[in-house]
C-alpha cells in the first residue's frame, strides 16, 4: 500500500488494527480488575500478534496492580475468574 492512507476511504482491516492497538494497549489504567478473557475470543485475524502483545501488557499491569494491593493490605482484591 502506498501513499497517504485515510481510513475514511479504504482498508477496514488496517483501521481495525489501529483500533485494537489503541483500545487494548493504550489508555489510562486505574487500578481495578482489568478482566480480559483470552479463551473463546472472536478476533479478526489481522492484529492477532497485536492482541497477544496487548494481553501481555494487561497482564503486566494486573501483576503490578496486584503487587501494589498486596503491599497495601487494607485494599480488598476481587478473586480472579477461574
Partner 1 sequence: MPTYLYCLVDPDAELVLDDLAGIDGGAVRLLRAPTMTALVGDVGEGGVAPTAEHARAHDAVVRRAMTVTTPLPARFGQLFPDDAGAAASILGRAPRLERALALVRGCVEMTVRVRLDEAERGDEPDMTPAVETIGVGPGRHYLLELQNRQKVEQDMLLSSQIWQSKLSELVGGEVLLERLGPGSNESRTAVFSHLIRRESAEKYRQALRGANVGGLMVSGPWAPYSFAGDADVE
Residues in the site for partner 1, rule: CB under 8 A? 1-7, 11, 14-16, 18-38, 40-44, 49-51, 53-55, 58, 61, 64-65, 68, 78, 81
Tell me how crowded residue 52 is: count the other CB atoms within 10 A of its CB: 11
> How far is residue 78 from each of residues 51, 55, 62, measured CA to CA in Å?
24, 19, 12
User: CB of 77: closest distance to partner 1 in angstroms?
Assistant: 11
Q: What are the cell numbers at 75?
A: 485494599
Which residues 6+ apart lie within 8 Å of 50 measured at CB? Answer: 17, 20, 21, 24, 25
Amino acid at each position: 500500500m502506498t501513499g497517504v492512507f485515510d481510513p475514511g476511504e479504504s482498508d477496514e482491516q488496517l483501521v481495525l488494527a489501529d483500533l485494537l492497538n489503541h483500545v487494548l494497549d493504550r489508555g489510562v489504567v486505574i487500578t481495578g480488575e482489568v478482566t480480559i478473557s483470552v479463551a473463546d475470543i472472536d478476533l479478526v485475524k489481522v492484529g492477532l500478534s497485536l492482541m497477544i502483545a496487548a494481553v501481555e501488557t494487561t497482564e503486566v499491569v494486573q501483576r503490578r496492580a496486584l503487587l501494589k494491593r498486596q503491599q497495601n493490605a487494607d485494599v480488598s482484591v476481587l478473586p480472579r475468574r477461574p
